[in-house]
Structure 1
Amino acid sequence: MVGCEDRLGSIEGRRTALEQIERLCLAVLARRRRLDKEEEGRRVGRRWLVEPEEGERKSGGGGGDAREQRSRARETSLSGNQTITSRGGRFVLGFFTPPGSGGNYYIGIWYGEISVLTPAWVANRVTPITDQTTSELKISDDGNLVLLNQFKSVIWSTNVTTIPSSDSTVVAVILDNGNLQLRDGSNSSLVFWQSFDHPTDTWLPGAKLGFNKITKRSQHLTSWKNKVDPSPGIFTFEMDPTGLSQYLILWNMSRIYWASVLWDGHLSSLVPVGFMYHMQVVNDTDEMYITFTADVANHSMYRVVLDNDTGQIQVQVWIENSK
């Protein structure tokens, strides 16, 4: 009997020792993985979806303290119902689905202070995803902002080739004017890409619509296909690519549907008088464009949009109590 008890005690002791060794090995492996990840981060640089001073990531709940902590957090990706809100809460970046679209999801920017979902910009308007929980918006190793679908295939990218060496810090920031910027983390004036240069159907205050005389590229609006499908529709609003000082609405990118009068140096020849915004036209050796600022003291929100049904440029103002 004594011999059996000694043998059982010996077995239990060896089992305990093996468990301790196993825990030690797991701890070593975990540390090794963490060190490898840190080394990879040093090797490819730091990629953040939001700067701590410029935005916050929301996943629901939380009070003021939690909001402050989130605003200081740096995130590396965005998926599911997670969103990033501009500092003042005016615009939100995240996945959305237009009501009635049949479950198609898009990465977009919408108004944060409007109770009805109102997208102002769409990234993957040509290629929707069907599962936002396994899709991911992130900054890739080469510094580009990319959208991965559930199969981890890139379906949309900023596709910038001028991002510096891989040891730099690259951040993506949603600003309070609705502009999504991909820029240098230590120099906010060094912008590699911005959504203002790639508008969809909505023209926001501060953005410009025009034509670059050197690159021959334009910033133009393209209507949605219909109210539930943000893919490119049949109407386009752009500066005359021939260099004439006028704006055109094209049907199917080929036929002139409408043309403004030639600009004679007076803004009244391009826009109606009495609108509650201030226009500016720039025409120099490099580019020609028009931009505007809104009179936010009188109206809460502006939406200049190319209507998908009529092809008209509509100036819409949202007043919350009127819906």
Structure 2
Amino acid sequence: MERYEIINADLETAQVNVLIDGDIQTIRSQGLQFSIDKNAKTISVSTVAGEPIIDQINLDMPPALEQELIQSVGAYFGTATRRGNIIGDGASIEGDKDVAGAIRDESKAFMLSIKPGERFYGGGATSRKNIQHRGEVLRMWTIYQKTEIPIPFLMSSEGWGIFNNTTSINYFDVGRFKDDKLCVLNSEKDIDLYLMLGSSMYDVLDKYTTLTKKSFILPRWAYGLAFGGNTMEDQLDVMNDALQFRKENIPCDIMWLEPQWMETYYDFSTSKSWDLKKFPAEPFWEVDKYPKYEHPLLFVSRLHEIGFKLALWLCIDHDLTIKEEDGIAVRSGRRLPDWSTGSIILPDL
């Protein structure tokens, strides 16, 4: 949040004791100690009593090993292409990207020792196979239907977590390349790393969300079951689905519509309209009238009557990203206003 000049004031400064013995610097605080070897460029973490938590964090992976890791990660994922469009209908700031292009000469990797049996959780929606990630690679790169919500944070069953603070493409190789190492591969040389230590994973997660800010709580119905039928369904099919849920006493809070609700199937514009033949959500003679309202006798209101919320699948070419925001700020000669306030909730369903 530094780009918005927002400072996190929730963090408390810890009292530390620093011991220096040649190239070894030891920092002690709150029952923990960090031993930093400036010559070897390694860090070890343990309790003050000497019980190891992380045997070694190696911030300077040997070049040959780093190249081997890069090739291994590239082979693991193969080739994937993502559209380069960032903002506007058909306007592209940069061309298509692929995985191979994401791991460049300026890539940087570092390693953390992990114990036998140690388990790792987190990473956001980067794996469709596992909740526990040891033995696989997580790719922090937003790709539709693959890694839609990447979060570069992992926490260990041993009471520690790691947050790789970057918006560039990065990878977590969790004991796959080396079975006793967690390897983090960044597509840029800069490293901004946060290490969280706690008595439990709950404690570690609390520290992470203290740093990044706590999530807003959504309405209760948003945590319920959301059901989406096939793309051939019209309003009668959807209403039948909804009634069947109530008849069978199956809890369900949201009915989900795929792009068949749009007048133009997969309409990527910002001027979408209902397909009034399939979903008369408003009277056809009032389509051009404003302001819009919920008609009490039509589709949306009928769903609400039996306790359902309605969610619509959207596809929009206009994607105002951080990169484009920064470009606007440069062109306008001023810092962008802070947009993330307590009154704004940005759910990703």
What interval of TM-score do these two structures reach, taking the shorter chain for normalisation?
A: under 0.3
Query: Which structure: greater strand fraction?
Result: 1
Q: Which has the larger radius of gyration?
A: 1
